[in-house]
Amino acid sequence: MSASDAEADLSADERAGLELVRRSGGIHQSDFWKELDVSSRKGSRIAEALEERDLIQREETVYNGHNTYYLQPATRDLDFSLLMAGDMLSPFIGEEEINARSDAFSQWLMNLAYEEY
Amino acid sequence: MAFEDLLNDPVIQKYLHELVGPTGMPVAAAPPDGEVTDEELAEKLDLELNDVRRALFILYENDLASYRRVRDEDSGWLTYLWTFEYENIPENLEDEMYRLLDALEEREEYERTHEFYLCEVCSIRFEFGEAMDFGFECPECGSPLEAMDNARLVEAMNRRIDELRDELNVDVTG
C-alpha cells in the first residue's frame, strides 16, 4: 500500500493530526492533542493509528519531566525525478546559494520546456 | 555493497556524480558495508589516495559519510575509519526539491512580469528596457532584436511547480 492510499481512508481527526505533524516537522504527543483540541486519550489513539499506517514515526521520550512520545513525519518515498529536466539535474545541487536567474538554471528551464513537456 | 536499492535509482547516481565528479565516482558508487579506511578503498578501487580522500570529504560535507579517528598502536599514526551514511540521501534530495521549488516560483514571477527581446543570431536575451537602450539592435552583431514569447517556458515552470507542490504536500494557499 502506498502512502497516498494509506492517507485516503483517514478520519477527519487523523487527517488533521497528520497535517499537524507534517506542518510542525516534529511535535511531542503532549502538545499534539492540545493543539488538535482533543482529549489526551483521543490524541494518543490518533497518533497510534498514524504510526500503524507508517505515516508518522513515534518515539518514547521525556519532555517537561513527563514520559511522552515524539511524533515525526515518516520519510516518504518521493519522486526524485522531479529534480530532472531532460537529462539535467537541478543546478542548485552542491551550491550554497540559489540564483534563480543563473545561466545554469536557464539551461535547465530550456530543457524543461523543450525536452520534457 | 550497501545501499543497493538507493544506488539503483538513476537520479541518485546522477546526484552522487554531481557531488564527487567523475574521479570520485568509483568511491561514491560502491559504498562498502561497515567501516573502511581511505587506503583500503584506494587499493580496492585502484585509485590515487588523494582522489579517494577528496571524494570522502565531499561525502562528509554532504552528511553522506562520517569518520572516527583511531591511533595505530604500533606506528602511533592516526587512521581514519569511514562509514558511508547514504540513508541520508532521500532527506538531502527532499531538501533539493524544496530549493528547486523556491527557485522556480521566483523565476516564474520574473518571467511572467517581464517582456523579453531576442537576438536570434547570438541567442542573447534582453529585458525590454535593455533592448530599448540598444535601439532594439543587438549590441554584439547589430541584428534587429525580436520580441520573444516565453509562454511555453512559463507554462513548463507552472507545470513543474504544481508537480513539486503536490509531491511535497506544500499547501498551495499557505
Say if residue A96 is in the same domain as residue A42: no
Say if residue A12 is in the same domain as residue A59: yes
Give me the amino acid identity at B115.
Answer: E
pLDDT tens-place string over residues B38-79: 999 999 999 999 999 999 999 999 999 999 999 988 888 899
- HEC secondary structure over B102-171: HHHHHHHHHHHHCCEEEECCCCEEEEHHHHHHCCCECCCCCCECEEECCHHHHHHHHHHHHHHHHHHCCC
pLDDT tens-place string over residues B93-145: 999 999 999 999 999 999 999 999 999 999 899 999 999 999 999 999 999 99
Say if residue A84 is in the same domain as residue A69: no
**Single pTM value for the model:** 0.73
A99 lies in which domain range?
A: 80-116
Residues of B with CB under 8 A from a CB of A: 9, 11-12, 14-15, 18-19, 62, 90-91, 93-94, 96-97, 99-100, 102-104, 106-107, 110, 152-153, 155-157, 159-160, 163-164, 167-169
Name the DSSP class of A96. S
CATH of the domain at A32: 1.10.10.10
Residues of A with CB under 8 A from a CB of B: 22, 75-85, 89-90, 92-94, 98-101, 105, 109-110, 112-114, 116-117
Nearest to B64 by CA among B27, B23, B99, B37: B27
CA A90 to chain centre: 21
pLDDT tens-place string over residues A61-84: 999 888 999 998 886 678 999 999
| Residue-range domains of chain B with CATH | 4-84 (1.10.10.10), 90-168 (no CATH)
C-alpha cell at B58: 565531499
